[in-house]
Amino acid sequence: MPTSLKRSKGKAESLFGVMEKTLHLLQMGFTEEEVSGAIDSSGQEATVQELADSIFARRIDNSIKQTEVKIESDFLGGTENQHSTCHQRLRYYDDEDDKIGVKRAKSIFTDNSSGASSSRPGNQPSLTPWLSGCTGSVSNGYVKEEFDAMASGPRPDVRPEIAKPPYFLYGNVVDIPKGTWHQLSDFLFNVEPEFLNSQYFSAVMRREGYLHNLPMETRHIVVPKSPMTIEDALPFTRQWWPSWDTRKHIGVVTLDVAEIEQMCEKLGKIMTDSRGVLSHEKQAHIMQQCKMSNLIWIGKDRLSPLEPHQLEHILGYPRNHTEQFELNTPDRLAAMKYTFQTDVLAYLLSVLKSKYPNGLRLLSIYSGLGGAEVALDRLGIPIKCIVSVEESDVNRKILRKWWRRTNQAGELRQFVGIWKLKTIVLEDLVKEFGGFDLIIGGNYSSCRGGRTINATMGMDSNKFYEYARVVKIVRALHNS
């Protein structure tokens, strides 16, 4: 092939690649100006994720500069608000300052200290604290839930045009930096995240964050509730539980069952050798291991990791929900590591019961084990149809089994990957089902199976971008 033709072909392929990346970024919700600036800055060979991260870094850096301008203006007595709204188009810093801007943005993204002030521009409130919407008091070691009365109507931080259906809810049960929540909010209509702690709903102690446009009136706890403490969930352990083990909740789900069983043998030997008289140091050591691996007492001086059916009960799923022929105990525990606690979800979704007494249409992105579906079923909200997107073949089987076992009257439609939901496919689905009432998604399963994690954001950012793209397209189709 002549050299000139090779060059021409190479340029054509390069141009096609740039066009494909541009279209993908536009579908994510970026503007043409942002995409063009990112490609000019990062180069045509940059991946979609690198380009998206570059745009985010530019946005945050601009927010920092706007905040600095306002502080200086206020200090000098200026009256003009340089950033009165967070919805204005963001300007960009020069390419020479690109590396500096990225470093400054990363320093914010990775700041996860509870006392840090928000870097969000404008007069918006800072991130709501953990346990937003509920307070708790401790009495005799037990947490008593005291849910505050919610104001009627939509959330005050959600614009009226955004508070309308279809509703969306994105949840992340991984403790990601506060700066990341700022980024995610920018892509979902600037709604503020709502934070809850699952210990107020169950025997799991975990910080969880949610971005949603759901109203807040008539929220209620699903009945029957999941067990609130380890003792409630596993009453048979009461007789073996030593007085110095003061745990009431489990933490993260551990996976390496074989190593944990070996640890249980060592800890049991320490207990036996002590003949019932343990030093404070040994008690503290055993307590630390129990907390890290969620060990429970199953006999005199005998510890054991949680069984899958016990964890299902604590998370609010039906017994043997994860039981599949090809799954062993570690696989079942791994499947539940980042899944939703259904009582927490049910609390947020309970407002839909009065709005959809005859059932709702659900678009479930990254369905996982079907936490949203289980929560709706526990609330007694019929599901007219589910369009589910889930990569894991095992998770899809689990959801299908649950669907058949609970005798659902609607239709379950499953997709393997989010890339299948192109605009034209979403148009056909909206036309076929008459639209969707709720679009739910989460990043809870993104840290398994060798996923590429964005180190700056602490999560699989591509998954969230795709969820936001689908939400915006479906809402646009409803309003067209």
Please give the residue that has the higher pLDDT: either 178 or 64: 178
Task: Flag whether pLDDT at 155 surpasses 90.
Answer: no
Specify the pLDDT at position 60.
59
Q: Which of 60-69, 271-280, 341-350, 354-363 shows the lowest mean pLDDT across its residues?
A: 60-69
What is the CATH class of 134-225+339-479?
alpha beta
Among residues 212, 233, 216, 236, the alpha carbon closest in space to that of 224 is found at: 233
Task: Flag whether pLDDT at 141 surpasses 80.
Answer: no
Specify the pLDDT at position 316.
96
Task: Flag whether pLDDT at 423 surpasses 90.
Answer: yes
Question: Quick check: bond before 224 cis, omega within 30?
Answer: yes
What are the helix (H) ranges across 135-240? 178-187, 230-233
Kindly indicate the confidence band of residue 396, based on its pLDDT and cuts at 50, 70 and 90: very high
pLDDT (mean) for 428-440:
97
Strand (E) positions, 231-323?
A: 295-299, 302-305
Task: Flag whether pLDDT at 239 surpasses 90.
Answer: yes
Residue 399 · residue 425 · CB < 8 Å = no
Residue 92 · residue 75 · CB < 8 Å = no
Kindly indicate the confidence band of residue 462, based on its pLDDT and cuts at 50, 70 and 90: confident
Task: Flag whether pLDDT at 264 surpasses 70.
Answer: yes
How do residues 324-383 score in pLDDT, each as one tens digit? 888 898 889 888 888 999 999 999 999 999 999 999 999 999 999 999 999 999 999 999
Task: Flag whether pLDDT at 429 surpasses 80.
Answer: yes
Neighbours of 479 (CB within 10 A): 9
Task: Flag whether pLDDT at 241 surpasses 70.
Answer: yes
Q: Across-strand partners of 139?
A: 142
pLDDT (mean) for 116-127:
35
Specify the pLDDT at position 426.
96
pLDDT (mean) for 169-181:
88
> What's the mean pLDDT when you consider all of the chain?
77
Cβ within 8 Å of residue 255, ≥6 positions away: 330, 333, 334, 337
How do residues 46-58 score in pLDDT, each as one tens digit? 887 778 777 876 7
Q: For the chain, what is the largest distance between any 2 Cα atoms, rounded to a whole number of angstroms?
A: 87
The DSSP-derived string for 234-268 is: -GGGGGG--TT----SB-SPP--HHHHHHHHHHHH
Specify the pLDDT at position 255.
61
Report which residue type is found at 148. Answer: D
Task: Flag whether pLDDT at 454 surpasses 50.
Answer: yes
The listed range with the strongest mean pLDDT (40-44, 122-126, 283-287, 445-449) is 283-287
Distance CA 480, CA 425 (A): 16
Task: Flag whether pLDDT at 110 surpasses 60.
Answer: no
- Strands 383-389, 411-415: pairing kind: parallel
Q: Which of 8-22, 119-133, 236-250, 345-359 shows the lowest mean pLDDT across its residues?
A: 119-133
Specify the pLDDT at position 480.
76
Task: Flag whether pLDDT at 445 surpasses 60.
Answer: no
pTM of the model: 0.71
Residue 25 · residue 35 · CB < 8 Å = yes
Distance CA 133, CA 55 (A): 33
Specify the pLDDT at position 157.
76
pLDDT (mean) for 405-426:
93
The two structure tokens encoding residue 277: 């008289």
Specify the pLDDT at position 179.
85
Per cent of the chain over pLDDT 90 is 45
For the chain, residues classed under CATH 3.40.50 are 134-225+339-479
Query: Under DSSP, is residue 146 helix (H, G, I), strand (E, B) or coil?
Result: strand
Residue 142 · residue 199 · CB < 8 Å = no
Kindly indicate the confidence band of residue 309, based on its pLDDT and cuts at 50, 70 and 90: very high
